[in-house]
Chains A and B, each alone.
Chain A
Amino acid sequence: MCGIAGLFSKATEVEDRLGAHVGAMLSQLADRGPDSAGVAFYREPAPPGSSKVSLYSPNPTEDWSATASELEAAFPGSGEPEIRASHAVIVVAAEADEAEAWLRERRPELRVMSVGTRIETFKEEGSPRAFVEQFGLAEIAATHALGHTRMATESRVTTEHSHPFSTGLDLCLVHNGSLSNHNVLRRRLRREGIEFRTDNDSEVAAGYLMWRLREGASLQEALEGCLEDLDGFYTFAVGTADGLAVLRDPIACKPAVMAETEDWVAMASEYRAIAVLPGAADAEMWEPEPGRVYVWERAKV
């Protein structure tokens, strides 16, 4: 059980302050999700042929520059690590699967939170307000983002169990609700080659999307597949390189509020998380209908 939020900017002033806005949203969702918090920001794209990797280390004195140097040696042209609390974002001069393979072999103790061209993912145990501070969200600019605050249901409170779960390149998912057939699904998806690190139901939803996309479904089709194959209660928000998607299950007990102004589109579990956004009082507001996929994407150049 949790709070989820999504913000998609339509104006540069909003982009510049996106991190601050998302931080304010997360603080409003702290009551319903006190155990951990996470965000995925979509920012400057990595150059063609490179990929952006978000890494987490459980070691508080992690030597990120050593890792970065080794990466530079293996993949010349790789960037400096951008460090935020227990995480670091590194642009690796290699395609995603190469970068991941190297990390898995040479730095297995580091957790890959996400890989892609634009996505940067941070998640941590502890209060959402502390998270916003520690990770310096106020300085972050981005075109769109997803956020999550967690009240753990059937699985443990650890950094790995926090959302967003990354489902593939530039793809991530946040979930409010509780699935009821995730164990069966997890076993099925494992047989299809999808890997899972936790017993968390939301990770299964993320894995399911990744599987469908891998098999050629569009994001719309994959989300519609959720309605068929996932059982339980859910409001999902999904992030892609180009935008956001929202889906509620057909019973729709878990809340979801959407709002739009000239400058942004936002989604959250409670209105008060939207109330902190500029111009919220006059925003157009509605609730997503159950069983219907909503997608917002910026036009591709």
Chain B
Amino acid sequence: MPVGERAAPVGERALGGEIEIDLSEVTLRELNQRLHAVADDGPRRWRVLNPGGQHAVAVGIDAPIEVTVEGHVGYYCAGMNKGATVRIRGNCGVGVAENIMSGAVIVEGSASQSAAASGRGGLVVIEGDASARCGISIKGVDIVVKGSVGHMSGFMAQKGRLVVLGDAGDALGDSLYEARLYVRGEVAGLGADCVEKEMLDEHRTEVARLLEQAGAGSVDASEFRRYGSARRLYNFEIDQAGIY
């Protein structure tokens, strides 16, 4: 080992510019602390082995690094991510990329409930399906789901975009504010104050760009329908009481 280089801790190996950390040998806390402590000139590429469905893997990262998780994770993977690109080569539990600020989170499998909940920026891509409440309460994140999303997706979504190549479950966009929802497949039902809106060129361009970013650039943006707020819940009026 060259002088000055410290020995890698147990469970961590350096391989060709990439650091590998094995969660069957180190604790979750050690992993997250390592990822929080990456120096500006530190390693850019990280690989996490044997996540075994653990929760809170790679949360709170604030660095432009790449993290690849080899396997299935539990809840809140990549929660509050800032600037990193986190790729999950498996399925993820509740709240993947919750409150993401920037950067990207890519789930190669499927996502459980509340994917990208309250996300404020960045991009979340789900290659499989997302279950209920995908994009709940989002505040600026962009989400692209290549499969389908479950019921109450886009619930109270304030800002940001949700693009679904498959179908959407019931109560889509219930109580949403200004987020934009685009669905290509079937929509089982619309939630309170959510209506279909016209797809204009600007929307097709927006969808095309998101598809491109998500690696689905060959999909035709004009196959999508747009959904948004009817804005009748914005200020209470007695005649709208039935919507509540």
Contact = CB atoms under 8 A, between A and B. Distances in A.
Interface of A: 28, 252-253, 255, 257, 270-275, 281, 285-287, 289-290
Interface of B: 52-55, 71-75, 90-91, 93-94, 109-110, 112-113, 131-132, 150-151
The 10 closest A-B pairs by CB, nearest first: A272-B53, A271-B53, A275-B53, A287-B131, A275-B52, A272-B74, A271-B93, A252-B132, A285-B91, A271-B72
Contacts of B74: 270-272
Interface of chain A, main secondary structure: mixed
A290 B91 CA distance: 20
A255 B113 CA distance: 8
A25 B52 CA distance: 13
B106 to A, nearest CB: 18
A281 B54 contact: no
A275 B93 contact: no
Contact of B132 (A272, A274, A281, A290): A290
Contacts of A271: 53, 72-74, 91, 93, 112
Contacts of A281: 71-72, 90
B180 to A, nearest CB: 25
B112 A272 contact: no
Nearest to A288: B131
26 contacts: A28-B53, A252-B113, A253-B113, A255-B94, A255-B113, A257-B112, A270-B53, A270-B75, A270-B93, A271-B72, A271-B112, A272-B52, A274-B53, A275-B52, A275-B53, A281-B71, A281-B72, A281-B90, A285-B72, A285-B91, A285-B109, A285-B110, A287-B113, A287-B131, A287-B150, A290-B151
A205 to B, nearest CB: 22
Q: Which of B54, B72, B94, B110 has the largest number of chain A CB atoms within 10 A?
A: B72
Nearest to B169: A289
A154 to B, nearest CB: 24
Contacts of B54: 272
A285 B73 CA distance: 13
Given A271-B53, A271-B93, A275-B72, A286 B110 contact: yes
